[in-house]
Amino acid sequence: MCKKILTLLLFISLITLRAQDFTKETKEGHDARMEWWRDARFGMFIHWGLYSVPAGEWGGKTNYGEWIRHSAQIPLEEYDKFITQFNPVKFDADEWARTAKNAGMKYIVITTKHHDGFCLFDSKFTDFDVISTPFKRDILKELSEACKKYDMKLCFYHSIMDWHHPDYLPRRDWEKDRTTDGADFDRYVQYMKNELKELLTNYGEIGVVWFDGEWEATWNDKRGLDLYNYVRSLQPDIIINNRVGATRNGLEGFTTEGGFAGDFGTPEQQIPATGLPGADWESCMTMNDNWGYNKNDKNWKTAKEILQMLADIASKGGNYLLNVGPTAEGLFPDESIERLREIGKWMKVNGESIYGTEASPFEKLEWGRCTQKKIENGTRLYLHVFDFPANGKLVVPGINNETVKTYLLSDSKKDFLKVDRKDDALIITLPTKAPDEINTVVVLETTGDADIVNPPQIKSTIKIFIDKLNVNVEPSNHAMDVRYTLDGSIPTLNSPNAEKGIELNETVVVSTRYFKNGKPVSGTAKTLFTKVKPESAVEVDNLKNGVHYKYFEGKWETLPDFNILQPIDEGVMPNISLPEKKSLNNYGVEYTGYIRIPKDDVYTFYLSSDDGSSLYISGKLIIDNDGLHAMIEREGAVALSAGYHPIRIKYFENTGDEGLKVFYKYSENDKQQIDDNMLFHSAK
């Protein structure tokens, strides 16, 4: 009887747990869950699967990676043959974990299942797994044991998209002979949950579930929230990325406003331009051009580039997830090992300046980056010097703190460096030669919290003008004056006050600086404003409303040269919108015509697209929004005379969603979509 009661109570507790909305946790609970991840800052991504067998080569082409089944349009029955060839006899989980540890990484994220549907673990729910290969060993089991040995957090990448499972929808658009009859997406979701339960109950504590492949129409935020809660019902302290939802803004990696964002953002192959206060994020990047192993890809980043990226990311409050694509034998490529070894040497000396740090208090430093930590009664600033000063004087601008001590992090004796103050800045005297040519870290310990006054910024998105331009400077919240110059020199107390704005009549470099109580308290910000002549309008006859378009079909990852391609269709459209008769995926459109400009002015154009696009006015590239991405908006400005100007827009769609929109703004007018009455084509 007692066993029955205990079983019933356990069942009830599990039902209650799974019904819980884990997004309702307190800030304290959320921060405690994220603590290890925020402290880690540096992890290893591993993309490994059947795609390592062809090693990037198929049908005479050598530019494929982990997407090879889709990109090379390999039929399912042909791709499945790789399972008999996957036999990574040189795989050594201990060596992998030790290599990551020695490189200074704190966690490993490995592809348990990529988009091709192949599983690196022993699953009861599919035969398309590693146990069905000649290898017949559970890779994740071995790696989980190795990670425990080396105190590495093991994390799992798991694809929502699955090109192999019969219930996953949609099919690839080129799979004409693979029927969808009987396919049930809800049944696929249950299959995915079954495998996630295996992953989260058979391999111990998992740090992160890193979802991907969420962008197809069958997935949405509602499903994402349900999956998020399901995963956390299995391991409540686990961390889950924002790709569990369906509203990520392309490769920029952040969830659009109002979407379900999981626990952290995922910029891919890029680093945000600035820090993002209050946001957790992680930049994932390849060492070369592919995630999966490609034997012909030799475009490797240098260790210097990788280490400076690591410092850049940490200085903005993010994590760095650096990828390795193992070979079909189970080895890390030699080039990856070489770079990881160099990274490890630097991290062994300087890791303190990365782990557990917070974002820089400085908006910009000309010579490098900064990370910081709170210490007893003060702050420790880690100054990452990329460009070592030729005169040995490192200028740290806009800092009001008193110095406690300053030394090189690589100096085991921690001998103090000489520090002087000049106006707002501290001047640190460094050795004549850089101790580390990649990134010399200078430690600056100060009293209290970091008290930094960043330079005043000019609030103007337009950097060109025709006759004159009035610009305003960011106001101060601390009763500070803003002084400016127009010749690029450093403002002094005798320079003009920018309180009422600055009128520009010619090309100048505007320099701005804060002053308080008659003394400079910030560094100097500089912005170039250029006076230009507007592009001349053209004289054209016989114009009619609408733009000419040419429609093409083909698979591209960047915009092709449409001039050398044969269009499938062409005609006239009233505006810049996608043709009604088009393929679901893999097509391109080029629009040409004229735009009627109402007055001489600077015009800012905004181009949104999914995937790549570009906009030309009067033959000049104004906006480059190229590449594979979700709906992203870019902008560009150009000075135009009143009248007609040639306009050309190029667009391509690869797979997934599609979209193309064009807006403009000038003078005091609000941003608006280009009106049909502004677009024309030659009727000749």
* Bridge partner residues of 597 (DSSP): 643
Considering the segment(s) 543-682 as one domain, its CATH architecture is Alpha-Beta Complex (3.90)
pLDDT for residue 308 is more than 60 = yes
CA atoms within 13 A on the CB side of 319: 31
- Calculate what percentage of the chain has a pLDDT beyond 90: 86
The average pLDDT across 641-657 equals 92
Written as six digits, the tokens of 416 are 């103090």
Given a contact cutoff of 8 angstroms between Cβ atoms, the answer to whether 519 and 423 are in contact is: yes
Place of tokens 């494929």: 64
Q: How many CB atoms lie within 10 A of CB 110?
A: 24
Given a contact cutoff of 8 angstroms between Cβ atoms, the answer to whether 588 and 552 are in contact is: yes
Pick the CATH number of 42-353 from 3.20.20.80, 3.40.50.2300, 3.30.470.10, 3.40.1190.20: 3.20.20.80
* Bridge partner residues of 107 (DSSP): 43, 153
Characterize the bridge pairing of strands 525-531 and 464-465: parallel
- Calculate what percentage of the chain has a pLDDT beyond 70: 96
pLDDT for 454-494, tens place per residue? 999 888 889 999 999 999 998 776 789 999 999 999 999 99
Local confidence band at 275 (pLDDT 50, 70, 90 cut-offs): confident
Written as six digits, the tokens of 676 are 């049909």
Taking Cα atoms as reference points, which of 129, 135, 93 lies closest to residue 332?
93
Give the predicted TM-score (pTM) of the model.
0.88
Distance, in Å, from the CA atom of 22 to the CA atom of 234, rounded to the nearest integer, reads: 11
pLDDT for 38-97, tens place per residue? 999 999 999 999 999 999 999 999 989 999 999 899 999 999 999 999 999 999 999 999
| Domain locations along the chain | 42-353, 368-447, 464-531, 543-682
Written as six digits, the tokens of 22 are 């884990």
Given a contact cutoff of 8 angstroms between Cβ atoms, the answer to whether 333 and 289 are in contact is: no
Distance, in Å, from the CA atom of 351 to the CA atom of 102, rounded to the nearest integer, reads: 11
Phi/psi for 571 (5° steps) reads: 170, -155
- The SS3 assignment for 342 reads helix
Q: How many CB atoms lie within 10 A of CB 590?
A: 23
pLDDT of residue 19: 67
Distance, in Å, from the CA atom of 417 to the CA atom of 443, rounded to the nearest integer, reads: 10
pLDDT of residue 16: 46
Phi/psi for 228 (5° steps) reads: -55, -50
DSSP 8-state secondary structure symbol assigned to residue 281: B
pLDDT for 87-144, tens place per residue? 999 999 999 999 999 999 999 999 999 999 999 999 999 999 999 999 999 999 999 9
Given a contact cutoff of 8 angstroms between Cβ atoms, the answer to whether 321 and 282 are in contact is: yes
Give the fold, CATH level 3, of 368-447.
Immunoglobulin-like (2.60.40)
Distance, in Å, from the CA atom of 321 to the CA atom of 105, rounded to the nearest integer, reads: 9
How far lies 26's CA from each of 29, 31, 156, in Å?
5, 9, 25
Place of tokens 């499938």: 568
pLDDT of residue 302: 98
Given a contact cutoff of 8 angstroms between Cβ atoms, the answer to whether 246 and 213 are in contact is: no
Cis preceding linkage at 436, omega within 30: no
